């Protein structure tokens, strides 16, 4: 290792390398959901069984992320990133050729284990190789790919599954993974700040795997099994709470913990992780709700539903390029507050839902929401990670992503649960207020009856169908009101972030230009010997 600086070209080559692998992982997560019906027919499986294709991946992801910092130090950052790339790519191929559902689920577990550490490792790498004045731009470029993947994924996945085969949603990972492997091999190097752990905290590892795995299963399967009315969910929840509590105690006592929790002693990091959990809750749940509303209530296909989400990606792309330049020049707290406020306003616009709304009534709020996210992710990550010493950065990004994932999973579970419960409550209220003797109700029933009679039905059958249509209209309105309730809640979540922002300290470029390395400091990373 020499004293020369890393060249700008090499910095951006590393950025492109890790971004390719990261986008592959994020894209695969979103693509799989829309291909489940095609897999179901091909593998002769039920709907409940097919849910394990998604759940197994998320559970493995949740298990792998907390150990990222420790594993990266243990094997070396470059080697571990290559291991993850190979594992994800090979398991993608094996998922594509899967002859049975159990085999596919097993390969999805391997995919989750390989893909989980990629995002926190990529964040740590880019945070380390760029000085603070350039990190905003670097993270913006990287973030464009990350944000576009879940928006384009459902559209691309639907088209591939419809026109080719569901197996190709896994095969498309092969060339990306191969090129990513070559580029990472050529450009990435190990961190000079991280010390290799001498042993393994076996007990902490077991507690972590069981605890985070059970928690993810509770959040994924809870709504389907009616939460704690199910013995399975109750047992998983007790296991999750017990194991995670023991895991926290163990990590605080261990000499070389799997996940070093002392990083939460940093005020910016502690508050930032609370904020990213709330952002993940709001972002993931709003994406899901829009996808559900367009396809279930407005009868859009996967392609058109993706086109509704696409303006959000465009807004994010535009905002990231602006926020990436501003984040080192002004108070990041102002940018973050503006992003959260705009997101709250955009989400409140989505509460004005109707069954007859046009495309732009959804696309405009989505654009504003995506634009606001560009002013949330970059300044929030800067505020959260800039005060963390470089030797602890891998561990910090792992903890940051653990909290983000938990927030996102809680958001999805909360949104789907409230959607069902509030829909039932609104339906009960609306049905109680339907009076068959009122003039308006009688008129609507007569219109439907005349419609069915004109189609050849007898008067009795036409009358029954007319009442059925009246009930259907009532249930649809109840569901629309439930969606509006969910969006109001998400809007409140983003408003609730605002009081937390002043509690964080502003990060100044001139104070953080040097990497913290104990008592010594260095201007930038030296380039490795080739």
Spell out the domain ranges in the chain.
Answer: 1-199, 264-530
- Residue 445 exposure: Cα atoms within 13 Å on the Cβ side: 17
Residue 498 has a pLDDT of 93
**Token pair listed for 417:** 């649960």
- pLDDT in the model for residue 525: 37
pLDDT at 512: 53
Task: Please state, in angstroms and rounded to a whole number, the distance separating the CA atoms of residues 485 and 37.
Answer: 29
- What local confidence, expressed as pLDDT, does residue 32 receive? 75
Residue 64 vs residue 3, higher pLDDT: 64
Residues of the chain with pLDDT > 70, as a percent, come to: 83
- Model confidence at 181: pLDDT above 80: yes
Q: What value does the mean pLDDT take over residues 132-156?
A: 72
The answer to whether residue 515 scores a pLDDT higher than 50 is: no
Q: What is the pLDDT of residue 278?
A: 92
State the DSSP string of 173-219: HHHHHHHHHHHHHHH----SSPPPPSS--HHHHHHHHHHHHHHHHHH
d(CA 158, CA 144): 22
Whole-number Å distance between alpha carbons of 426 and 487: 16
Q: What is the mean pLDDT of residues 393-407?
A: 84
Sort strands 520-522 and 515-517 into parallel, antiparallel or unpaired. Answer: antiparallel
CATH superfamily placement of domain 264-530: MFS general substrate transporter like domains (1.20.1250.20)
pLDDT at residue 78, as a whole number:
87
510 touches 439 (CB < 8 A): no
DSSP3 helix / strand / coil % (the chain, rounded to 5): 80, 0, 20
User: Is 60 exceeded by the pLDDT of residue 510?
Assistant: no
Give residue 493's pLDDT: 93
Query: What are the tens digits of pLDDT across the range 18-43?
Result: 888 888 888 777 777 667 677 777 77
Give me the pLDDT at residue 524, please: 37
Give mean pLDDT, residues 489-495.
93
- For residue 526, pLDDT over 50 is answered with no
How far apart (Å, rounded) are the C-alpha atoms in residues 204 and 250? 6
What is the predicted pLDDT for the residue at 437?
60
For residue 519, the model assigns a pLDDT of 35
Distance CA 461, CA 178 (A): 63
Q: What is the pLDDT of residue 336?
A: 92
More confident of the two residues 249 and 427:
249
Q: How does the average pLDDT of the chain come out, rounded?
A: 80
- Residue 266 confidence (pLDDT): 86
Q: What is the pLDDT of residue 441?
A: 65
Hey, what are 264's tokens? 């939460």
Is the pLDDT at 352 greater than 90, yes or no? no
pLDDT at 317 over 90: no
Least confident of 84-98, 191-205, 253-267: 191-205
Binning pLDDT at 50, 70 and 90, where does residue 529 land?
A: very low
Is residue 526 classed as helix, strand or coil in its secondary structure?
A: strand
pLDDT range class, residue 438, cuts 50, 70, 90: low
pLDDT value of residue 148: 67
Residue, of 52 and 425, whose pLDDT is higher: 425
The average pLDDT across 304-332 equals 81
Overall average pLDDT of the 246-263 stretch = 82
- Give the per-residue pLDDT at 47: 60
Place of tokens 């992320």: 65
- Model confidence, pTM: 0.79
Question: Is pLDDT above 60 for 290?
Answer: yes
Which pLDDT score is estimated for 448? Answer: 65
pLDDT interval class at 4 (50, 70, 90)? very low
pLDDT of residue 341: 94
Instruction: Note the pLDDT of residue 84.
Output: 92
Q: Is the pLDDT of residue 137 over 50?
A: yes
Most confident of the ranges 106-110, 128-132, 327-331, 439-443: 106-110
How confident is residue 313, by pLDDT bands cut at 50, 70 and 90? confident
Q: Which residue has the tokens 């502003």?
A: 506
pLDDT for the residue 523: 36
Contact between 108 and 57 under an 8 Å Cβ cutoff? The reply is yes
Q: What fold characterizes domain 1-199?
A: Growth Hormone; Chain: A; (1.20.1250)
Q: Work out the average pLDDT over 90-119.
A: 88
Q: Residue 505: is its pLDDT beyond 60? A: yes
């Amino acid at each position: 290792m020499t004293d020369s600086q890393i060249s700008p070209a090499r910095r951006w080559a590393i950025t492109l390398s890790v971004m390719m692998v990261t986008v592959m992982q994020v894209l695969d997560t979103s693509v799989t959901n829309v291909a489940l019906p095609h897999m179901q027919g091909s593998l002769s499986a039920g709907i409940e069984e097919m849910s394990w294709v998604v759940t197994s991946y998320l559970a493995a992801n949740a298990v792998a992320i907390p150990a990222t910092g420790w594993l990266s130090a243990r094997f070396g950052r470059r080697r571990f990133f290559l291991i993850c790339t190979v594992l994800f790519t090979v398991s993608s191929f094996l998922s594509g050729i899967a002859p049975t559902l159990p085999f596919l689920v097993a390969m999805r577990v391997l995919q989750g284990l390989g893909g989980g550490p990629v995002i926190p490792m990529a964040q740590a790498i880019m945070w380390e190789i760029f000085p603070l004045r350039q990190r905003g731009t670097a993270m913006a470029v990287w973030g464009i790919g990350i944000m576009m993947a879940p928006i384009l994924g459902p559209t691309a996945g639907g088209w591939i599954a419809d026109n080719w085969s569901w197996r190709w949603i896994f095969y498309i990972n092969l060339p990306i993974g191969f090129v990513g492997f070559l580029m990472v091999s050529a450009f990435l190097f190990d961190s000079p700040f991280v010390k290799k752990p001498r042993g393994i905290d076996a007990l902490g590892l077991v507690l972590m795997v069981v605890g985070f795995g059970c928690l993810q299963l509770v959040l994924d399967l809870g709504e389907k099994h009616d939460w704690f009315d199910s013995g399975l969910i109750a047992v998983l929840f007790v296991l999750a709470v017990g194991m995670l509590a023991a895991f926290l105690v163990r990590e605080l006592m261990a000499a070389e913990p799997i996940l070093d929790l002392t990083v939460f002693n940093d005020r910016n990091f502690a508050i930032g992780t609370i904020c990213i959990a709330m952002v993940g809750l709001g972002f993931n749940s709003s994406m899901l709700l829009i996808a559900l509303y367009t396809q279930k209530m407005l009868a859009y296909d996967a392609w058109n539903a993706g086109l509704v989400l696409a303006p959000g990606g465009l807004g994010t792309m535009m905002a990231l390029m602006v926020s990436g330049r501003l984040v080192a020049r002004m108070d990041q707290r102002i940018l973050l507050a503006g992003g959260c406020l705009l997101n709250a306003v955009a989400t409140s616009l989505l509460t004005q839902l109707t069954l007859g709304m046009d495309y732009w009534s959804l696309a405009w709020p989505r654009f504003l929401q995506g634009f606001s996210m560009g002013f949330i992710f970059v300044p929030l990550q800067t505020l959260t990670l800039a005060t963390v010493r470089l030797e602890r950065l891998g561990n910090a990004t792992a903890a940051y992503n653990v909290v983000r994932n938990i927030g996102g999973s809680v958001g999805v579970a909360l949104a789907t649960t409230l959607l069902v419960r509030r829909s039932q409550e609104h339906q009960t209220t609306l049905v109680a207020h339907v009076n068959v003797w009122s003039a308006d109700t009688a008129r609507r029933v007569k219109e439907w009856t005349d419609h069915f009679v004109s189609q050849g039905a007898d008067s009795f059958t036409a009358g029954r169908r007319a009442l059925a249509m009246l009930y259907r209209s009532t249930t649809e309105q109840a569901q629309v009101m439930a969606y509006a309730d969910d969006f109001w809640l998400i809007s409140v979540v983003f408003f609730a972030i605002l009081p937390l922002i002043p509690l964080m300290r502003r990060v100044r470029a001139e104070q953080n230009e040097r990497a913290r390395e104990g008592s010594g400091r260095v201007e930038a990373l030296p380039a490795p010997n080739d």
